[in-house]
Structure 1
């Protein structure tokens, strides 16, 4: 475990005491992917081999058992992902891993048998082979995970799950397996609300799977507020809970902690949302390419300057990123920080810009950012760092504002289809959007994304689009 001041942390990791630069480990995503690949390959190999041996021992004839085994492998893979059989807790605890894999296999076999029954093809599959194969596979999956999970770090070249401890003040380092300890002093103050500060926090946590904060009791609420949009599982140490031996809180029972935030969507949900983004954004770019070429020409004819406008926005995990739009204002009048929001009949907007903003065509370049993974089709709209509501910066109106960044920013969102768009002259203009964004994060579903995307076409020509 390493203890560092924030100034000692380069972008890629800490430094050794002798000054030599090193990463404390391979990227979390790389090791995590290796772990998932190793375990999934092991599970698939076990299923295939065991059912083959069961067919030989039971003297199965025909190809029924081959078809069943072939269908079982992808079914198991999907159900196992949905059952979090490859989640960080499962990959760090052999008994949890065994339970989740065995449950997934039982559910998979049961589902296939049910399908065969309804298709009236149950007689085609050798019952003895399937019964023996299923029972033997359960046993072998348990044995496989029992031996692989404890040795996972050695097999894949490092611990795939990093835990960061943030010490606020003179709080003692609690028991636990922490990859690194960061001192909050002169690095991040949860009572100071500033995009650059939050961006620095997000950059420090980007390689972690879990962050734990040890802080004075009076600072817990502030840290909770700060971490709820960090796009990572965040926990606050509550030492008073130690005598209670709580269940269902943080994973380290020796240092009881309250989970105050969760990370991204589950792996299956992330995969579905990302695949949807890729397919729709690709098709949209192909279909809209002629329109975007025409818009490019019209912008160049209408006023001198670049075709695209770049502006820093607050993205997922409160990290800053550059958003791109078709330029709709005169180059010398563009407001990089959005200190002055666009008003109706704004003299800075060009002739073609009025049309682009009215029809939301100026947002089309963001489809490319959806492809690159910086944005999503649906999510909270990203805001500029200088945006204000009733002369107050957005986070000064409501500190829940930082929580809305727990997901990728979107081209459209729940707030937009409800008509909450345009200038924020009053605090309620922001609060309505904020409530919608938080509601979206708390009740995400693929079908809701589809509905929001469909309903967006109703509000493209909105009275507040100017």
Structure 2
């Protein structure tokens, strides 16, 4: 068998670890799959994120070289810095766009010395030509030094090529060491899986690392080892595996002719925050090119995309940090007044922590102001708070109705376990007023955990807050949560935050 850099066992990745050392592992995950999952807990660099960062790096390099040449040759005393800066800015933008149009930011190109040198040279040469033509038609070519323009071309090109060669060397090293890769799990063993694996191994620009195979079948169609990769368990175990390991993609290799089986699998797997693809490598059916994504020449049919990835995650995190920090500063008097009122009203601590379901169904601890008598507190939320609940203090009734008790969760936002906006985190033992578990009421309930939970959300501003005494209320909440996940944007987060104070005026279900 051919072992390449994407093969986990060729690097000694799977080491012997006792199952009990893997935190959070619970049945039904078997011990071998648990040991394997432990090897993939560490976050890796995303290829698409690296491409985006490198665009910014090259933009900065082109702009900086232009300014350095201006200072060295033209001189700040010339008084023409603004016009030179505008041309530099224009050239840097066109240069990055030109490299983008030439596919210069694809990882396959960035790994190849010859490809990236050729494409960067062509793109930067075309950029200088375009800038010169623009200046000609504006009749402004005499306002700029030709020595400056020529020196910018040569220096910019040399800088880009040197930086690219260093980057390419690092990308190849990161790929070998597993620092930059896309981690994938194959669903379905047998000939389909083997065909896909062999095809991936033949791709020079393959950034997929196969972490294992999962399949419900245990007959000859699905042997325990396929192309050197072990079968780690069944589909139920895959869901738990994907929550413990940092997996990016699920690739289903079952034949498309097995329609019922494929649909059944997708119904179980869509709740995971992963890219889900169908292997079209050995399929006879052919779709339009836009239906496919590719790993080298290997076609995959896109089924589900993770809701937030790469730059979306960064943008949402920066938004959360900025607004949460400002809110903590502005609301500090409210924090102080609430703490004093709680201490004067009843004995016990001001704050308490409660375990709730977080991103990817992981358990997180959220902070709240204490609203119940300390000796009657219910940290596991086994009993729903109802109207006139004797466990709730006088201050507690007010802060629960006004949602002031949720304000300490701003610290959770700062720490990264919650977001400002998202599906509300439910208690791990959440039940309705009829003592029915949420997961039993709504099919696909865990799909709401594909993003971080939030302090407020789309469901809350539409009135779905407080006690759940009817199944329709929970179903409506989940429907709104899934709508938010599928339609997320920073503008939607801003709109929800703006509407939250108004929605808090509706307190009929908050006890």
Q: Do both share a fold (TM > 0.5)? A: yes
After TM superposition, the score normalised by the length of structure 1 is: 0.74
Answering whether residue 431 of structure 2 is matched by residue 396 of structure 1, we say: no
Structure 1 residues 271, 172: closer, same or farther in 2, change over 3 A? closer
CA distance in 1, matches of 2:307, 2:74: 46
CA distance in 2, matches of 1:338, 1:98: 62
Residues paired across the two proteins, number: 449
CA distance in 1, matches of 2:122, 2:171: 22
Shift of residue 212 of structure 1?
2.8
Answering whether residue 179 of structure 2 is matched by residue 163 of structure 1, we say: no
Answering whether residue 84 of structure 2 is matched by residue 45 of structure 1, we say: no
Answering whether residue 480 of structure 2 is matched by residue 464 of structure 1, we say: no
CA distance in 1, matches of 2:262, 2:145: 58
Structure 1 residues 287, 53: closer, same or farther in 2, change over 3 A? closer
Structure 1 residues 2, 69: closer, same or farther in 2, change over 3 A? same
Structure 1 residues 185, 6: closer, same or farther in 2, change over 3 A? farther
Q: Partner of 1:423: helix, strand, or coil? A: coil
CA distance in 2, matches of 1:419, 1:68: 51
Show the 5 A alignment for 1:201-280.
201-204=242-245, 206=246, 208-214=247-253, 217=258, 218-238=260-280, 241=283, 244=286, 247-248=289-290, 249-252=292-295, 256-265=299-308, 267-280=310-323
Structure 1 residues 36, 70: closer, same or farther in 2, change over 3 A? same
Corresponding residue for residue 16 of structure 1: none
User: Which of 284, 292, 314 is equivalent to 2:335?
Assistant: 292
CA distance in 2, matches of 1:295, 1:2: 53
Deviations 1:72-104 (A, max 9, x none): 588689989x99986878867997999899999
Q: Partner of 1:265: helix, strand, or coil? A: coil
**Aligned-CA RMSD value:** 5.2
Q: Partner of 1:328: helix, strand, or coil? A: coil
Corresponding residue for residue 4 of structure 2: none
Answering whether residue 32 of structure 2 is matched by residue 2 of structure 1, we say: no
CA distance in 1, matches of 2:215, 2:495: 45
Corresponding residue for residue 417 of structure 1: 461
User: Which of 458, 472, 493 is equivalent to 1:449?
Assistant: 493
CA distance in 2, matches of 1:90, 1:264: 27
Corresponding residue for residue 331 of structure 1: 374
1:328/1:352 contact within 8 Å kept: yes
Instruction: List alignment gaps of at least 5 residues for structure 2.
Output: 1-6, 24-34, 201-205, 217-231
Answering whether residue 44 of structure 2 is matched by residue 28 of structure 1, we say: yes
Answering whether residue 362 of structure 2 is matched by residue 362 of structure 1, we say: no
CA distance in 2, matches of 1:396, 1:124: 75
CA distance in 1, matches of 2:125, 2:444: 42
Q: Partner of 1:311: helix, strand, or coil? A: strand
Structure 1 residues 163, 268: closer, same or farther in 2, change over 3 A? closer
Q: Partner of 1:244: helix, strand, or coil? A: coil
2:381/2:427 contact within 8 Å kept: yes
CA distance in 1, matches of 2:275, 2:16: 20
After TM superposition, the score normalised by the length of structure 2 is: 0.68
Deviations 1:393-442 (A, max 9, x none): 33333333322222221111111111111122222112211221222222
Deviations 1:107-166 (A, max 9, x none): 9x999x99x9xxx99789749789879988997799679756654423656541232224
Corresponding residue for residue 386 of structure 1: 429
Shift of residue 457 of structure 1?
0.5
CA distance in 2, matches of 1:79, 1:321: 42
